[in-house]
Structure 1
Amino acid sequence: MSTVTASSPEKERGLLARIVATPSAGPLLVLVVFCIIFSLINDRFLAEQNLSLILQQTVVVGTLAIGQTLIILTAGIDLAVGAICVLGTIIAGKLADGGYDPVLSMAVAVVLCTASGAVAGGLISGLRLPPFIVTLGTLGIITAALRLISAGGAFPVDDDFLGWTGNGDAYFGFVVTYGVLGMLVLYGAIWYLLNQTKWGRHVYAIGNNPEAARLVGIPVRRHLLSVYVLAGFIYGVAAWLALGRIPNADPNALQTANLDSITAVVIGGTSLFGGRGGLVGTLIGALIVGVLRNGLTLAGIDPLWQDLITGILVIAAVAFDQLSRGRR
């Protein structure tokens, strides 16, 4: 009896098919294409200082996108990510400025951000209200509260601990801040939760079909609440990273954070319909947003056009996701 072995070209085609089928392969290709285009437009794009700047500029949006990914995986959406993060910066800055211990001030800010996520999650899981409406209402409430707390104006936050995440070390001209390291640690921790624990498998199951998940014994409401609580905690950590990036508490900051975080998640391959996607793609998506804004700035493109292009990318990514779901 003779055995037939696959030829080398067939093996190569099989390997190529597996690579193409990887959810993060498409976003990675987009990232590489953007880098090539912007490096041809401006030779400063690939300079160590500029690449380091892109990574630092990605820290806040990239961290917010972690929480956004968790929520979108459950077929929800969070329109208050930027407002909750700004709430953390305002509270921490106000308390530290008032003479309170900076560690305690940051801890209180993170707790309040977590509580904001818990309230939204409670309304969504307990009363079964639409995530869009709940988070939109949360956005309005927190935005008004921020203006009242800060008296409508920005103020500097010069405490060393609150700005510590902006410090870092240089390696051959490439600066790596503690904020960047913190973001990567968060990605690793939440990736582990999603991919290596029962909790993560339940999150995907709820996003695919909440009724089916309930019928097999998954406590859907409790898991939904835990997702929003964890997302709120992540937004609080992002507030600390934001103070390290820009040591200034401004109620009008991060106005594009909602769009940018959703863009990073959707471009990264996570479906807005829930149940499909992951954090590797989200990280690549966040880098795409950072590269796009940085490259367009170096090219002298007006920021309004940058927002327009970002919006087009979101619509294109959602349309592609819809078409792929239809084919499946």
Structure 2
Amino acid sequence: MLGHEVKARHLATFGPLIALLVACAFFASQSARFLTPDNFSLIAQQVMVVGVLAIGQTLIILTAGIDLSCGMLMALGSVLMTTMATRHGVSPVSAIVLGLGATTLAGIVNGLLVTRIKLPPFIVTLGTMNIAFALTQILSRSQSVTEVPPLLTALGNTVQVGGTRIAFGSLAMVLLYGAAWWLLRETAGGRHIYAVGNNREAARLSGINTERVLLSVYAMAGLLYGVASLLAVARTGVGDPQAGQTENLDTVTAVVLGGTSLFGGRGVILGSLIGALIVGVFRNGLTLMGVPSVYQILVTGVLVILAVATDQWSRRAS
């Protein structure tokens, strides 16, 4: 049994990285344009929004929860920022603060409903998702917000690194993953997150304030969704009320592909970055091969099922 458990842990840790390398090797053999610095920079820009959303989703899934509202909260934050700055005369800095505050507040509300009223995270975030969608449409009048101030799109600018243009947003995503890795690995709060996900009652009996841990996780996730809102505006240059409708599933895909267990308590935050990159590599590679987008969605669905099946096998082996 111990040998099976060790193999399961190694698979969860190194499996996503191996899958990413294999995918890169395959698409490099199919297209000469794939294995270029500029293309990898493009992939990083394409995944930076989902990548940051996936950090918050990972924190919540580590506590054995799930957040279906992340994409729509991101859309609400981006529309709020751009609307305040363009239509209501609010300074860009204040507009950004309002957007970050709104998504953080939504995260806190989610956390309170989960911890105080004891509602299931699935139901809570499903309701929040619909509320955020309605508010986004009302606030934007169902129209994209254009003529965005330069400060709101600054993270979409690029810097020259070794002859390749890399977006500031991509660098911000990497820094956020580094901060999240440090939080989970090096702090007591990070260890408490894993403990709550493994066994909430055992964590409570050991002296951990489980409600405070869960509330802080949902609040941090909400703040990260606000950062993703700013990245979305920076990438597209507009406040798009139609954004965020598939990002909830994209983030779950990235987290699961990255080796984090849907049952909580097990996973590495950097795995979610690898998972987001796997999805980005597949979509980019298939596009270069001329494969229609519908087949890209099909492949993503197959990857999710395989990742969940692997998680189940790993859990049984443990």
- Bin for the TM-score computed over the shorter chain: over 0.9
Aligned to 2:181: 191
Corresponding residue of 2:3: none
Counterpart amino acid of 2:205? L
Report whether the alignment pairs 1:140 with 2:140: no
Equivalences for residues 105-184 of structure 1 within 5 A: 105-184=95-174
Question: 1 CA distance for matches of 2:68 and 2:234?
Answer: 24
Q: Is 1:311 matched up with 2:311?
A: no
Residue correspondence of structure 1 range 205-284 to structure 2 within 5 A: 205-284=195-274
1:55 aligns with 44
SS at match of 1:217: coil
Instruction: Give the drift of 1:24.
Output: 3.1
> Cα deviations across residues 136-187 of structure 1 (Å, max 9, x unaligned)?
1111111111111111121224311000001121234421121111111111
CA contact (8 A) 2:107 2:223 kept: yes
**1:244 shift after superposition:** 1.1
Number of residues paired by the alignment?
Answer: 312
Q: SS of 1:170's equivalent?
A: strand
RMSD in angstroms over aligned alpha carbons? 1.5
Rounded Cα–Cα distance in structure 2 between residues aligned with 1:285 and 1:240 = 22
In structure 1, stretches of 5+ residues that fail to align are: 1-16
1:176 partner SS: strand
2:72 is aligned with 1:45: no
1:36-115 correspondence to structure 2 within 5 Å: 36-97=25-86, 98-115=88-105
| TM-score with structure 1 setting the length | 0.92
Moved more, 250-259 or 139-148: 250-259
Aligned partner of 1:3 in structure 2 is none
Query: How far, CA to CA, are the matches of 2:56 and 2:306 in structure 1?
Result: 22
Task: State how far apart, in whole Å, the 2-side matches of 1:292 and 1:245 are.
Answer: 20
Mapped partners of 2:257, 2:275: distance in 1:
5
* Contact 2:12 2:314 (8 Å CA) reproduced: no
Distance 1:262 1:101, change over 3 A: same
Q: Percent identity?
A: 51
Residue type of the alignment partner of 2:185: N
TM-score (norm: length of structure 2): 0.95
Name stretches of at least 5 consecutive residues in structure 2 with no aligned partner.
1-5
- Aligned positions of 1:286-325 closer than 5 A: 286-325=276-315
- Report the residue type matching 2:235 in the other structure: R
Measured in 2, the distance between the counterparts of 1:159 and 1:173 equals 28
